[in-house]
Amino acid sequence: MSKVTIRHVAAAAGVAVKTVSRVMNGEPNVTQDLQDRVNKAVDALGYVPSMAARRMGGSRSYLLVALNDRENTINNWRSGRGNDWIDQMLHGAMLTCEAHGYRMLFELVEAGSPDLDRKVVAILSALQPDGIILTPPHSQNLALVEMLTRRNVPVVRMGVAGEGVGFGVFMDDRAAAAEATRHLLQLGHRRIGFIAGSPRFEASRQRLDGYRDALTEAGVTIDEDLIAPGDFTFESGVAAAGTLLARDDRPTAILASNDEMALATLHVASRLRIRVPDLSLVSFDDTPGVRLSVPGLTSIRQPISEMAAKAAALLIGVSRTGEGAPSDHLLPFALEVRGSTAPLT
């Protein structure tokens, strides 16, 4: 059987080859009737457009690349815990790319590397992507964003506001932490511990600020001894929870800055025979693990998949039109209340 080509599709749909190309590339100003005819012919013939041919036909590569932090990602893989945050990010971005005929690649780059620019330029040269998605902490690196902008590479910065430098797709971490803390305050807790995230991430500072905001708003004196350092890893959560729960005047509730550190706190509490929710516990991100724990953890749901989908859609839009002034997109968070929080007794 001979290979199905774009000419076969055009003949079956009764349209010009150029019209098929415009429909396959998602170009504007194609009527719905023509789109339906072409897509029906594509489905009937089983036509699969050649990515190489599409790239030769214009300046677009039909490829997006996400740059993720090498150290955190590899450490999580090696530990066997996986990367739920990245899984959700890829879920949102890849499905959006698939729906628009694009491809998505995932690259690991060391955020603190002295030759970061050289490594990113090598990726650009090899892949020639239509856009780059930067995840934290890369999205906070203004020098990297500006370098990409100088090379006319559209950039989406996940987790932070772009503020005119690339697109920003993010949630309000400060407001989310304040809402989580208010939830505990409304349950009667006043001695609320906080496990901070890695200082490499802007979200860590925002979440700590939100915790402080809610306590101040409620007239509760902030006890700096109830704030324990962490770095978003399970091990740091074990150390932080151990410090907080070993105190004679231990907190009655703890807000952890991510799910891994919250699950670590759950383990430490169990080892110390402290029942959750006698110790109320709130987490951040709402990845699958905290929904399956016993008890399920009350958590701030970060819309990771939705942010990645929006990021991919923005870059695809810019790729198609060649235009697009930087514009930030704030996505909503949600507080998911489960069995790990209860009124103070």
- E-assigned strands of the chain? 63-69, 103-109, 131-134, 155-158, 167-170, 192-195, 227-228, 253-256, 280-285, 298-301, 329-330, 334-336
- Which residue blocks in 171-295 are alpha helix, DSSP H? 173-186, 202-217, 234-245, 259-271, 288-292
Residue 26: per-residue pLDDT: 62
Residue 137, preceding peptide bond in cis (omega within 30° of 0): yes
Contact in structure between 130 and 345 (CB atoms under 8 Å):
no
Q: By C-alpha distance, which of 231, 230, 259 is closest to 244?
A: 230
Do the domains 63-169+304-333 and 173-302 sit in the same CATH topology, yes or no? yes
Question: How far is Cα 212 from Cα 294, in angstroms, rounded to an integer?
Answer: 29
* 181's tokens: 């803390």
Residue 57: per-residue pLDDT: 45
Contact in structure between 34 and 14 (CB atoms under 8 Å):
no
Residue 323: per-residue pLDDT: 59
> Which pLDDT band holds residue 113 (cuts at 50, 70, 90)?
confident
Lowest mean pLDDT, pick from 1-5, 104-108, 212-216, 244-248? 1-5
Residue 50: per-residue pLDDT: 56
Domain ranges within the chain, ordered by starting residue: 6-49, 63-169+304-333, 173-302
Contact in structure between 305 and 91 (CB atoms under 8 Å):
yes
pTM for the whole structure? 0.80
> Which pLDDT band holds residue 48 (cuts at 50, 70, 90)?
low
Contact in structure between 197 and 203 (CB atoms under 8 Å):
yes
Residue 325: per-residue pLDDT: 53
Which amino acid type is present at position 306?
E
Is CATH 3.40.50.2300 correct for 63-169+304-333?
A: yes
Range 149-168 average pLDDT: 87
Choices 3.40.50.2300, 3.90.380.10, 3.40.50.620, 3.40.190.10: CATH for 173-302: 3.40.50.2300
Contact in structure between 132 and 155 (CB atoms under 8 Å):
yes
Note the CATH number of domain 6-49.
1.10.260.40
Sign of the torsion angle spanned by Cα atoms 21, 24, 27, 32: positive
DSSP 3-state assignment of 285?
strand
First to last CA, the chain: 75
> Which pLDDT band holds residue 56 (cuts at 50, 70, 90)?
very low
Residue 295, preceding peptide bond in cis (omega within 30° of 0): yes
Sign of the torsion angle spanned by Cα atoms 254, 255, 260, 261: negative
